[in-house]
Structure 1
Amino acid sequence: MAERKATNKYYPPDWDPSKGSINTYGGQHPLRDRARKLDQGILIVRFELPYNIWCNGCNNPIGMGVRYNAEKKKIGNYYSTAILSFRMKCHLCDNWFEIHTNPKNATYDIAGGARKKVEDFTAEDNETIEIDTPEEFERRANDKFARLEHVEQDAIKAKSGATVLTRLQRLNDRQWSDPYALSQKLRKEFRADKKAKAKEVAECKAVADRVGFAFSILPESESDRVGSKRIEFEDAEKARMERKLMDIKTGGLFSGVRASRTGNGRSSGALVKSRSTTDSKGLSAGSTVAQNLASAVRANTRLQLDPFLAGSTLKPSPAASQKMSLSASRQAPPAKAPLVDYGNDDSESD
């Protein structure tokens, strides 16, 4: 860094290379302000927290990776490896905390001023493969069967210990290997579902139209079937409804009504048959009477309109006489209309 800062900088006129570097000539350390405590064995360095900690001064959490200007110095040795101390000030308060290196365990230890945030996770929680112990390594190195067993177990562990994202990626690659076939399958299921829903709507609308409801009816569900089966009727009401349903299915349209109105012991079938016979006879007799009445009315009308026939005596034919006698025997003849009196010649002369 000193060489970079000295490049293209000001050189005093009385300086020459024989007098040493620019830093030596100017009386400055190459590290500038970082070496202000170098006489105490302290060097200012940029230190990054190796894990999450809690500050004992303000009791605030400080996350892993936060950087500080720390005072670095050597405090001992582990064999030939130096043990270093890093002392820094909290950026949230005036508290100082110190962290030491631990070459034996390849970790960092907090010497004071803070405490480590305990976050212990197993290999299963981290979705990683658990590292075997040194004893296990030695056993596998000396035992071939243990080595073979370890290979099989590692294969199973690697397959089951894959991350969730990896499993989803494999599943996605397997399912979407043919996007066209899958899209066709989805569209086919959608069309079938659409037709089923349209059929349900049509059935509900038909029921509403048949009953005469102005609102829509929901489709039948399993709860409706169960609820209808739980309805219980009284014995008398249930018997009456079953008998009425049986009469509707087996009998005629008016057979039940006519049978209920009869008070004698005849069967409903005989009663219906006799009624039908009587009705047919009455209908034929009524038609004959109506024809005779029409003939009589036409004859009387003709007598009223024709003055020459009024004074004469009309003799009906034998067939007409027979019809008139038959109608007179079955029904009283209608009242004869009075003949019109046109007078005589004397009255006309007057």
Structure 2
Amino acid sequence: MEITGNRVVLNLAGADNMKAVRPGDFIIHLRSFQGGIELSEISGKVSTAYTVLTPSASPLNHGYYRHLLKSGIFIEQLVNLTGQLRDGQSINYARFSRLILPFPPLTDQCRIADFLDRETAEIDAMDVELDRLIEALRERRRAVLRTAVLGGELAADASDWLSNLPADWGRVPAWAIFRERGEKSGPDDQHLTPSQTYGVLPQSEYMEITGNRVVLNLTGADNMKAVRPGDFIIHLRSFQGGIELSRVSGKVSNAYTVLVPAVEIENGYFRYLLKTDFFIEQLVNLTDQLRDGQSINYVRFSRLRLPLPPMGEQHRIAAELDQHTARIDDMIADANRLKALLAERRSTLINEFVTGAMEVSA
């Protein structure tokens, strides 16, 4: 079997086209080795795209080499080896076998493996607890948004999410609040990248932050859409993260829909509303009415019903959410920093002990 994302693609070729795996073997896909080499504790088979390594030295402690072959210092050797190859070329076993590996006495291997098993188990347990904390904080953030943007009362039925709005709030179709911007971009407008993580950024800034390359749209300005501060941008084929508020001017491709407030609104309130799970669920339900892969156009979007609080309420809710979400976001950031420190500590421990730079106390 080969695993791609969360989907497993079954290899239906005959057994003679598969490779046997036995407990104690190490498995690597030599075109994808950034995570190191995996120890198998079970018997089975893998496709010929994988290389199966069987220990040839004896005596050998599998636990020691499990840590070694997933260590940062070993992975760096693999990465350096690929630099000697043409792009896309695989590292075959002959090349891999030339790497120099440490081979401590068996007693040292066992002592190092036992030590690293204990230490990494503690670190991994702390990492799991931090993951739970982060998810709890994210759920708290979602709950705060749900309650605030709906005026403090949640509907009993999520499909009727506007049923408990305060009496002085409006319940209006989206077209009464947003129209579609029809303006084409100008030649000097900067390219923008809407991101569910970072919001709407100039493409150059997005690439600098993420390290991701963005394919620039080199067509004429008359084929791009203008964006102005206060507009909301959505790619109506990819909306699971809600709709993004732009605070900058620029342009986006025609694949995006640009929404302009049709009435006076507090952008901050709608920035939170249009990223709540309740609102996203309305978009998801709307896609159920369409053929697979079909986009939600503005006409369909405009029929959704949205809450419209009085302006004073919009300002108050936006200000309160700015404070609440900032505190939660800070706690999430702190937890992620701790995760990064744990990961660094784990990597350093393994690197130092598998190479003998540090010794385990007898």
Q: TM-score, normalised by structure 2?
A: 0.16
| Structure exhibiting the larger radius of gyration computed from Cα positions | 1
Greater fraction helix: 1
Give the TM-score normalised by the residue count of structure 1.
0.17
